[in-house]
Structure 1
Amino acid sequence: MAVRYNPNPVRTQEPLCQVNTWDEVETSSLYTVECNGQAQTVYHTDSFDYVIPVVRDDSPLQVTVQVHKPFEEAVVRPAKAGILPKREGERLSLSLPRPQKLTLELDGDLKTPLYILCTHWAPKPEKVDHLFESGKIYNVGVLHVKAGETVYLEEGCMVFGCIDAFIADGIRILGNGVLNGCVWHPKEENGGKPMIRMVLCNHIQIQGITVVDGGQWHVLPGACQNVEIDDINIMSRVCTGDGIDIVGCEHVALRHSFIRASDDCVCIKAASHPDPAANRDVRDIRVEHCVLWNAEPGNAVEIGYEVRCDEVCDILFKDIDIVHCEYEGNQSGGVLTIHNADRPYIHDIVYEDIRIEDAQEKFIDIKVLDSKYSLDRKRGRVEKIYFKNIEILNGAFPVSIIRGFEMANEMSRPQDFYFDHVVILGQEMRSPNEMRMVVELAHNLHFGEQIYSARNPF
């Protein structure tokens, strides 16, 4: 029989507070939304508002947004969607040919966007072990999920707490409800636990849910295999609020999802967080058909810094819209980044069909280095990195960096980078100079038939 929640009596940490009534859940005073004539609940944070229309099929949608303040310009992203809002006063009409995950921005204000996150209905299985019912609020603390169990969040529920699984094969976290982490941290500070932590698990499915406002990393598989994550929404608003960190895993797929992160949106690591078992090799990771918004800290798509393993390989990032990569100002922020600060051989990484609408810091940032995060005393390698059909559509022309490592008794030269139809502000790049790329201690950058190296003039 399903239980509404299952707080474990043995906890190492308690939430700071509870949310007990819907009156305590903030809703938007700026936006009112209807989808196909049906009113939608628009939730509010101090960094964004969001609405989650749940759809049953891929039929066209008519979304209307009433804005409760004057504005000059409204922009809908990603640009690939081709959605041009029709305006009558402060009322916007959006005709969607199919359900999509969109951002609406007024007058370029990145602190008051509306996220319209169309999400397909995730049907309830016959067997549900942890059921959270529509229209209800739950405070679960830490929900411990065991092998073979299913968690189901019905549309219209809100669960305050986090989910934890340890050596639990065959778990499923499904539904269209919201997992909210605001109870784990002071409003303006990070803290608490990962929102969904899975360690040494095999055959995991996460589908349809929304994870919002955690105090640290949000979705965190560590030392896991065969993980399928589809059509989820992740939104953070405090520093170190990574979207998804794939740590020491093999055979992971993340698809059709939206991530707004106040740190790395998608990050691949091998580290002791969430567990020492996750200091292991990473292979066969697929991130496809996603929309990303990287707020001020961190990177949009990152491999590193903590990569304490022997090998990271066979990674694909494909068909991704990066609507914003905001300025970090801490020397590591960028759109497509690899920071090998430990010993692994990182190779065969593919970035393909990626559209970038706002790159406020670096475009490509790839380094072998010794950093404050390093624990290994030997530097690894970075080789065979592929960029195919990458385009920066708007904004300033960002710099790029590829840099190796050299000390008296150690040297690492990143090499074999392939650039195939990389376009910045309408111009196809044919050399590192054209890309405004700094290349130091690195070899074999391929632009068509031309090969460039740090030892040769560009």
Structure 2
Amino acid sequence: MAVRYNPNPARITEPLYQVKELEKSPLYTVLCGGKELTVYHTDSFDYVIPVVDDDSPLDFQVNVSKDFQKAVFRPAKTNVQAQVSGRELRFQLKKPGKVTLELDDDLKTPLFILCTKRVPKPEKVDHLFESGKVYNVGTLEVKAGETVYLEEGSIVCGCVSALFAHGMKILGNGILNGCVWHPKEENGEVRPMISLVFCNDVKIQGITMVDGGSWHMVPGACRNVEIEDVNIMSRVCTGDGIDIVGCEDVTLRNSFIRASDDCVCIKAASYPDPAANRDVKNILVEHCVLWNAEPGNGVEIGYEVRCDEISDITFRDLDIVHCQYAGGVLTIHNADRAYIHNIVYEDIRVEDAQAKFIDIKVLDSKYSLDRSRGRVEDIFFRNIEILNGDFPVSIIRGFEMHTEMSWPQNIHFDNVVVLGKQINSPSDLHMVVELSNDIWFNGKVFVK
């Protein structure tokens, strides 16, 4: 159960030595079932992680250290009804889940209440991180068949790297924290917090990842990866949540991502390894709560898609509570050669889209390396709703030069509702359509 250290670790700039050194919230105090929980603090959000054993209702009390006029809980579907008395809020979650609390529309001081199922410690653990302790691991290398277990209350500072680590697992209810290996206001070394390359039959469950200096979780050239009930929160630019790069058969579910760039991104690229320039197939993302802050997009395919084919991707039952600034909510940016097709978005609720809703483009960009443009075909949007906020624009645009042409086609919108209005045409959706074919709304073709 020893911890294996990399002789060339990520550079630790300011090590933590005790859990109490990790900054606590000056704004929020949280009690669950009468028991006070630790509320951690960053300059962009505060967060608390109630670890639960079952789906029983949870009673919360939140005390705020300043006056406020309005409190909003998201996702809206949780229908949290708080009793407010002065600076105190009392409410019940009928079922444990991932919930955000925003005071007076201030998106820089939210509280994330991230209920997480308890993950029992397996009999076999190769890398054990104990409750109440801080570990400055630099880079932890995990081998095939090994299990990493973070006990509830443990803080692991650094990153995890795995190469050909078939059957590896990262489990538990502790925190993987990247704050110690990048300057507070800057990106860190160009390395993910969790990097998996050529790893098959992987399971990651229950952990919280926060404040990495770059992308957070990146499986590259992997197969059969299951990611369950994780919390990922970034606060510096290019802090992607999860990037699935050149993988097949990946499932992400029941998770929370607040990302200062793309929340969930599908790519085929040389990062984390050149081997990840390969086809992507059979990806399922479901039952997640997403918050896209600053740059990037909510759910993205692209820009780097340097492979022959990306197909059979499903995004289902998602709550996108914010998509801030200039990004898009549901986006495909084909800037390389891939044939992107059979992509399904269904049962998705959007609560705040500040710039773009749908953004589908074939293009030559600063990220492009392939000499030819790929295709985008057979894209399905079903049961999608923007609940409140602004009415964002949407874009579908192809690529046409004197030497080549690629027009997106066969794109279907069925039961899309924006601010209570059923969408039946591109104009209804405030959509710009250029160089595209076969755009369908509720069974009727509008662009042919």
- What is the TM-score when the length of structure 1 is the normalising length? 0.97
Shift of residue 8 of structure 1?
1.9
Name 1:87's counterpart in structure 2: 84
Aligned-partner Cα distance in 2 for 1:370–1:10: 37
SS of residue matched to 2:320: strand
Q: Which of 369, 378, 389 lines up with 2:383 in the alignment?
A: 389
Alpha-carbon distance in 1 for matches of 2:330, 2:15: 38
Deviation at 1:390, TM superposition (A): 0.1
| Whole-angstrom distance in 2 between the partners of 1:420 and 1:319 | 15
The residue that corresponds to 1:171 in the other structure is 168
The 5 Å alignment of 1:76-155 reads 76-155=73-152
After superposing the two structures, state which structure 1 stretch, 242-251 or 90-99, moved more: 90-99
CA displacement 1:322-353 (0-9 Å, x = unmatched): 0000013xxxx100000000001000000000
Contact 2:19 2:155 in 1 (8 A): no
- For residue 80 of structure 1, give the secondary structure of its aligned residue in structure 2: helix
The residue that corresponds to 2:197 in the other structure is 199
CA distance in 2, matches of 1:106, 1:7: 42
Distance 1:87 1:27 in 2: 23
- The CA deviation string for residues 142-166 of structure 1, in whole angstroms up to 9 with x for no partner, is 0000000000000011110100001
How far apart, CA to CA, are the structure 2 residues paired with 1:449 and 1:233?
38
Superposition misfits of 4+ residues, deviation over 4 angstroms: none
Q: In 2, distance between residues paired with 1:38 and 1:108? A: 28
**Please, which runs of 5 or more residues in structure 2 have no aligned partner?**
none
2:426 is the alignment partner of 1:429: no
Deviations 1:366-390 (A, max 9, x none): 0000000000010000000000000
| C-alpha distance in 2 between matches for 1:77 and 1:124 | 31
Does structure 1 residue 67 correspond to structure 2 residue 64?
yes
For 1:9-408, what aligned pairs fall within 5 Å after superposition?
Answer: 9-11=7-9, 13-192=10-189, 193-328=191-326, 333-408=327-402
Aligned mates of 1:222, 1:436 — CA distance in 2? 36
Structure 1 SS opposite 2:139: strand
**SS of equivalent to 2:180:** helix
For residues 221 and 343 of structure 2, the distance between their equivalents in structure 1, rounded to whole angstroms, comes to 20
Q: Give CA deviations for 1:393-447 in whole Å, capped at 9, x if unaligned.
A: 0011100000000001100010001111000000010000110100000010111
Counting aligned pairs with the same residue, the percent is: 69
AA matched with 1:33: V
Aligned length: 447
Report the Cα offset of residue 449 of structure 1.
Answer: 3.3
Q: State the shift of 1:26 in Å.
A: 0.1
Kept in 1: contact 2:12–2:136 (CA 8 A):
no
Q: TM-score, normalised by structure 2?
A: 0.99
| 1:172 positional shift | 0.3
User: Residue type matched to 1:69 in 2?
Assistant: K
Checking the alignment, whether the CA contact within 8 Å between 2:357 and 2:393 is kept in structure 1 is yes
Residue 232 of structure 1 aligns with an amino acid whose one-letter code is V
Contact 2:377 2:410 in 1 (8 A): yes
Gaps of 5+ in 1: none
Indicate the larger mover: 18-27 or 260-269: 18-27
Partner secondary structure for residue 272 of structure 2: coil
- Indicate yes or no: 2:441 matched with 1:447: yes
Q: Distance in 2 between matches of 1:91 and 1:10?
A: 48
The alpha-carbon deviation at position 183 of structure 1 amounts to 1.2
Contact 2:281 2:312 (C-alpha < 8 Å) held by counterparts: yes
Deviation at 1:245, TM superposition (A): 0.1
**Matches of 2:412 and 2:434, distance apart in 1:** 17
Q: Which residue type is aligned with residue 33 of structure 2? A: N
SS, match of residue 12 in structure 2: coil
